[in-house]
């Protein structure tokens, strides 16, 4: 059997070897760091490999439904809204049965932190980011979306928030103030958006359906008929260059 390849109509043998394609993509510096820290934590007895597996499966399965329910309940109940804004952790426990100290319900470690809900108004819009890495309110919103962890989002949002929001399809009037809240190791944020007009008589279930993950991050607004996060494609303005992205490993 011939081992030759056809190129431009010619049939000839090659004696050089083609390098094999990798079975998996190369992992990032952050993934190497995560693996190292995780294995050290397991080795020192902070938690077990089984704990980590169960927590990861739980976090990947819950999604943002708890956050949607929290917002819908706050819209319908002024007293509960006041509690949400005063003490987000307590509101989660009393209104949703979600305990930030043990969110899984089966004793696995928690990423418990202070949890603050930021209220939007007709003249004030909040959007959350983690400029250092990817801190995110997982017990209530599930796993963070991939774009939330990218250098282009993390670095550019704090510099040019209107332009970045416009890339998500969210164009706010110039009279609306934009506040960027930087999540960190000690504090997680979530946005309480303004309730859309015409939904005052909706049930909590109807309201929760239009409160998507992006609305609670602050890169979208809830509106009737919008029940999923579909991002229009817009070319990034002032994108972070590849050289800058590689430099983020030192952060």
The answer as to whether 229 is a domain residue is yes
DSSP 86-148: H-HHHHHHHHH---TTSTTSSS------EEEEEEPBTTEEEEEE-SSS----HHHH-SPPGGG
Structural domains in the chain (count): 1
The answer as to whether 91 is a domain residue is yes
Percentage of the chain surpassing pLDDT 70? 78
The answer as to whether 104 is a domain residue is yes
Tokens of 21: 């394609």
Catalytic (active-site) positions: 130, 133-135
pLDDT in tens, 210-220: 999 999 999 99
Q: How far apart are CA 67 and CA 212, in angstroms?
A: 9
**CATH number reported for the structural domain that contains residue 184 in this entry:** 3.90.330.10
The answer as to whether 173 is a domain residue is yes
pTM confidence score: 0.76
pLDDT in tens, 125-164: 999 999 988 889 988 998 899 899 988 999 999 999 999 9
Which structural domain range is residue 135 located in?
64-250
């Amino acid at each position: 059997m011939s081992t030759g390849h056809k190129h431009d109509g010619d049939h000839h043998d090659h004696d050089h070897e083609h390098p094999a394609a990798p079975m998996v993509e190369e992992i990032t510096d952050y993934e190497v760091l995560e693996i190292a820290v995780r294995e050290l934590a397991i080795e020192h007895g902070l938690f077990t490999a089984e704990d980590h597996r169960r927590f990861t499966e739980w976090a990947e399965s819950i999604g943002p439904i708890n956050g949607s329910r929290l917002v819908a309940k706050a819209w319908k109940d002024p007293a509960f809204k006041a509690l949400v804004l005063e003490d987000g952790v307590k509101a989660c426990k009393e209104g949703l049965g979600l305990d930030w100290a043990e969110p899984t319900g089966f004793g696995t470690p928690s990423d418990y932190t202070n949890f603050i809900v930021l209220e939007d108004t007709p003249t004030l819009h909040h959007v959350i980011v983690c400029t250092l890495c990817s801190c995110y309110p997982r017990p209530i919103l599930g796993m963070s979306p991939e774009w939330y962890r990218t250098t282009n989002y993390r670095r550019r949002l704090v510099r040019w928030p209107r332009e970045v929001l416009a890339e998500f399809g969210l164009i706010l009037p110039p009279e609306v103030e934009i506040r960027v809240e930087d999540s960190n190791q000690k504090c997680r944020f979530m946005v309480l958006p303004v309730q859309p007009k015409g939904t005052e008589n909706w049930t909590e279930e109807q309201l929760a359906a239009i409160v998507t993950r992006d609305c609670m991050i602050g890169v979208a607004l809830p509106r009737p008929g919008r029940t999923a996060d579909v991002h229009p494609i817009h070319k990034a303005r002032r994108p972070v260059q590849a050289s800058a992205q590689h430099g983020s490993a030192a952060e």
